[in-house]
A and B are shown apart, each in its own frame.
Chain A
Amino acid sequence: MIGGARGRVPLSLALPALVTVALLLLPLVYLVLRAGSGGSRAWEVLWRRSTAELLWSTGLLVVGVTAASVAIGVTLAWLVTRTDLPGRRIWAVAATLPLVIPSYVAAFCLLGAFGPRGLAQQLLGVDRLPELYGYAGASAALTLSTYPYVLLLTSAALRGVDPALEEAARGLGRTPFATFRRVTLPAVRPAIGAGALLVALYSLSDFGVVSLMRYDALTRAIYLQYRALFDRTPAAVLSLVLVALTLVVLVVEGRSRHQTHRSSPGVAREGRRFALGRWKVPALAFCSLVVGLFLLVPSAVLVYWLGRGLDEGELPWREALNSVTASGLAAAAAALAALPVATLALRYPARWTRLLERLSFSGNALPGIVIALSLVFFAANYATPLYQTLALLVFAYVVRFLPQALAGVESALASVSPRVEEASRALGRGPLRTIATVTVPIVRPGILAGAALVFLSAMKELPATLLLRPIGFDTLATDIWRLTSVGAYSRAAIPALILIAISAPFVYLLSTRRDPAAGDPG
């Protein structure tokens, strides 16, 4: 149980948190309005057989991607942080890099490589490879873009586990494996859970991959319904089904979350590394496979395309600057917005503060088009001066990606003992000053990590960017879209590679982070 700062919740904290969450719920309000205006038709859509099938296929995809991401992410995290794997640092960065590849680009690249008549078929000279379209391709491309979330959060937590605990377990005669299972794993479980949640939400909301891989998920059906044009009810109903599915995911993750926290280790030091011995070769093979498949293959395809189109056109510097500006503002805004919500949930634990925190996730699995149209509706009609401004675009990014900022801030907050803050309060500082002068400096790495995740996601965002950006505000993502929509892949490779190049340094910073977040078990 967390010992909160207890006492009355200061209004200066509750108010921003409430306002933040209320704003985040706008898309839900919109959906209820739209579904409601359909009347009985809404029920009809809900009870269609195809709706149940969509629910099933989406669930299957989310479970598969999350399981694969956790398996790959946790194994890699352990290998690069706690073993004597040769080249650990390099593996850590290389294995995290797929995070910067937009999932629609990843799907394009996987298809270009392994699809019918793709590069692999040409190189291998075979007639047919196993079918990539459908479940296999969709889950592979989504796993590629999401397992780094688990890897990042878990390895940061692993670096923060107090080695004394593991040493004690080994001293008491536990085998290395038992130590890992009984001591290390429970300590990093919250981090794994947080990573898995991000993966699940991402897979629920993604449209690019399921459409390119032709897999029937809810998001694809929602996009398709928008083509029916006259009646926006079915799209709204299906979106609400998606929200319901999100709530299930949130409840599952919330249950698995142990209320752990601990005081920071007295001295930060590295634990003893596990000697891989004869497992070294399989471990290296595993790392090579992951990095090869998820980083080298997409990069190779992009470079191949680039080779065909390098001589044309100028480099998209203006687009790059726009991407960085919008994403940077979104990262800062999301971190600011996450702080009160996280502080409230972790420092003043009560049913309503936890509920508030969970609610802020509820719209997160909605596909970008739904969030975009809901903001179009509200802004065009009730906040006209804001409509089609950079501010609204940044706001849309915050709505979509706040959970990533929350994951960073919360894991950091959980690691700091509230006693430190209590001491500050006891010495006469007010709650806000305590947050500003004590909490924020301590959890700064977590805040920055969360902001970096938001930055990376916003760089890649497409559907909301298309509808909400100020006119003429082109970004790297919209540039990729503009070119791929007429099949000009060779020219699309340029903005795609620039996007990756800009994002890469952030990944480097993230992947070497040490999170003091891991709690001791129980």
Chain B
Amino acid sequence: MRVLFTCQAAVPHLYPVVPLAWACRAAGHEVRIASGSRVGGHIADAGLPAVEITATPQWTDEERKETQATIYGQGPWPQNWGLDLGALGPERQAYLRFIAGRLIRGAAAMVPELAEFAADWRPDLLVYDAISFAGPVVAARLGIPGIRYLFGTVAMPRIELDACGEPLPEYVRLFGDHGLPVCLAPAAAVDVTPPSLRLMSEVDTLAMRYIPYNGPGVVPEWVGVPAGRPRVCVTWGHTAGAALGGQAGHPFRQAIDALAGLDVELVVVTTAEQIELLGALPPGTRTAASVPLQLILPHCDLLVQQGGDGTTLTGAALGLPQLGISRKPDAEVAPGRLAGAGAGIHLRYQELRDDPARADVLRGAVERLLTDPAYRQAAQRLRTEIENQPAPAELVPVLADLAETPVALEVGS
């Protein structure tokens, strides 16, 4: 069969689906990954055939700034907020509506090119990340099953629906502009989160084992040499630097400075540009630019991270206790769930920022995570839970069956 994958043009959306795409290919199926130009090189780096979608929404500078300011200007949100959207106040509901509007506009720009490619290549199945709404539109247009994959997120509710579960008018329009009734039900949803981190379950969910893919790379030589003291990996993903510039590094710079006094080896892993944002680091700090986390974490004792979905799941898949320092609503849920599972501690930057004792708070958290064996045991349980999920290879026959199931056109409201 032919499987077309599509995702947001950002690596956190691409990476979680790479093992499934390769599983399809290794089973003899053809795959293509279609996404925006920004991520084309990353698709190719994963060894997968990329299809470049050149059209992008034309954001003005003001709109861009507004998006970032809105996302990073949020105070702390309630624990597990995605469970009950109705309980969120009007401001927070407006926030979700704002994000949904941006995503739907992005999807509208992408639909024509994606539809054109798909009409020519004729996929049997379209697999799209949970917030790439061009996916369901093009699947509906071709009359093929759409598979929604949750990109490791435990946080993102069906943001295209309102608190009562009704589609937003702009989501209905996204389909209507192409003469289609709105389609709300994918043929299935693929979820890579382990049960104890999962916040909610959608109907027809296919659980999948999370296989860490964090970009290409080679194993650094130093990982094989024991540090002689606990090794603490500090990372904050790929995207914050681009979104926030210089201030993206602040929470991590503060964490690094706080931890420098402990008897640990600090390893800072992120992109070269983001390492640069940190400035001069305390002596003895190791940096690893663009080395995939999965190659470093097996040699570490603790992961300090930003609450990113892929980062959290990679740490969990490798059985590491984690300290999550979040600063935006969608990044709060994963570390919150980790803490709930006993495998980590969750701190909010919005609270740390103004706390004069923050260095002590950070040091205390790290010391507890390193010395209390309960955290490591919980992290190992989480790892086992992940390993007990069906591997991507086991999902391929399920997808092949779905590809042969006729699609019933659903008439939406």
Chain A partners chain B: no
Chain A interface residues (CB < 8 Å from chain B): none
